[in-house]
Amino acid sequence: AQKVTQAQTEISVVEKEDVTLDCVYETRDTTYYLFWYKQPPSGELVFLIRRNSFDEQNEISGRYSWNFQKSTSSFNFTITASQVVDSAVYFCALSGGAGGTSYGKLTFGQGTILTVHP
Amino acid sequence: NAGVTQTPKFQVLKTGQSMTLQCAQDMNHEYMSWYRQDPGMGLRLIHYSVGAGITDQGEVPNGYNVSRSTTEDFPLRLLSAAPSQTSVYFCASSSPGLLSTQYFGPGTRLTVL
């Protein structure tokens, strides 16, 4: 069975602080994908990033960066110089399996509520 | 493209009533899924489909039925609503393959009294 754990239920920071959201996953699959989604107060789910299990290269996109480490089964997300607009719920998710049908199924973590204060 | 659309956006039901949550996508995606979001539990998979005529159960399928007669539509049916089904429901679609990403609809907020 797959499992995703986001141990931080809520994080509160002041604008311009850096913040890291933790994600730890469990899977027996050798091929899998990891995702981060953002859910702003308006409620929609916004795709942020996808990373496959063969690519441990860290990625940076503007103020966002992701650190994928297979050795610790972690896929952490860092926001640099946070802004009020970053306030949202952030979900880490996992899909996988050797069979192609598994890619249509996501296992989500519980979510981390990030509040950025001005 | 409209992407993934869901109707209605809000719905209030009484216990025992039935209803269908609609989901449609115009991206010609083969995979479609239904999730429910409850506080503190993230999103959990209810049912999914890998193509027209093919559906399967997810993590929390009880109380829900689905069918997939076309590629575009994937309705979720509640046959006899219960208060435990009060939740926000999201539909998602994706194309098959290693590079697929699930795209989500705007959600339906359902309250069962």
DSSP B97: S
Q: Considering chain B, what is the average pLDDT of its residues?
A: 92
Whether the CB of B40 is below 8 Å from some CB of chain A: the reply is yes
Any CB–CB contact under 8 A between A103 and chain B? yes
Query: What b/e string do you get for A50-87 counting C-beta neighbours within 10 Å, with b at 16 or more?
Result: bbebeeeeeeeeeebbbbbeeeebbbbbbbeebeeebb
What pLDDT digit, counting tens, does each position of B59-109 carry? 999 999 999 999 999 999 999 999 999 999 999 998 876 567 788 999 999
Q: Is the dihedral of CA A67, A68, A71, A74 positive or negative?
A: positive
Separation of alpha carbons B17 and B80, rounded Å? 5
Residue B36: strand pairing partners:
B44, B89
Give residue B98's pLDDT: 54
Q: Does A106 touch chain B (CB under 8 A)?
A: yes
Q: Say whether residue A47 is in contact with chain B using an 8 A CB cutoff.
A: yes
For testing contact with chain A, the best of B34, B38, B43 (most A CBs within 10 A): B43
Per the CB < 8 A criterion, the answer to whether B73 and B22 are in contact is yes
Q: Cα(B62)–Cα(B44) distance, rounded to whole angstroms?
A: 12
Residue A108 tokens, joined: 């989500």
What three-state secondary structure class fits A5? strand
pLDDT, tens digit only, all 118 positions of chain A: 789 999 999 999 999 999 999 999 999 888 888 999 999 999 999 999 888 888 777 788 899 999 999 999 999 999 999 999 999 999 999 987 555 445 568 899 999 999 999 9
